[in-house]
Amino acid sequence: MPSASYQPGGLIVGDFPVAIRYVTILSGQVQPRGAVMGRVTASDKYILSLAAAGDGSETPAEVLAVDVDASGGDVVAPVYSAGEFAADQMTFGTGHDADTVETAFRLAGRSMFVRTRV
């Protein structure tokens, strides 16, 4: 199982425990580590969360733990389901930002925190 630890200037910040699980990334996309993913309700597959999506994926759910190339088909990949993340290292879909994503995580009862550096 992959592990993660705090790296200055990296995606993981703070000392909150990190949890990783595996999900299916829907084909047709290439996403970088740190992309905020939403779950498509009908397929139980994940895509970049866009605020106006309307298929369930509009709700931020996970953060990609690795770069993913699903351009040739669905890919099973690790995602973070708990942890503290640096906003400047994350990829937000249209209509989302650090505040909307952290609010979505909080409302869902997720132990996921988006930190902005000052």
- Given this model, what pLDDT does residue 8 score? 56
* Residue 66, in any domain of the structure: yes
Domain-located, residue 49: yes
The answer to whether position 61 is within a domain reads yes
What pLDDT is attached to residue 3?
Answer: 52
Q: What is the pLDDT of residue 52?
A: 97
- Is 37 within 8 Å of 46 (Cβ atoms)? yes
Inside any domain, residue 14:
no
* Domain presence at residue 89: yes
Q: What is the CATH number of the domain that holds 51?
A: 2.40.300.10
User: Has residue 65 been placed in a domain?
Assistant: yes
Average pLDDT of adjacent 10-residue blocks, the chain of 118 residues: 57 92 98 98 98 97 97 98 96 97 95 86
In tens, the pLDDT along 16-40 reads: 999 999 999 999 999 999 999 999 9
Q: How many domains are contained in the chain?
A: 1
Q: Which range marks the domain in which residue 78 is found?
A: 19-113
CA distances from 13 to 7, 16, 17, 47, 91 (A): 7, 8, 10, 24, 16
Q: Residue 7: its pLDDT value, please?
A: 57
Residue 6 within a domain:
no
pLDDT, residue 12, reads 94
User: Quick check: is 8 in a domain?
Assistant: no
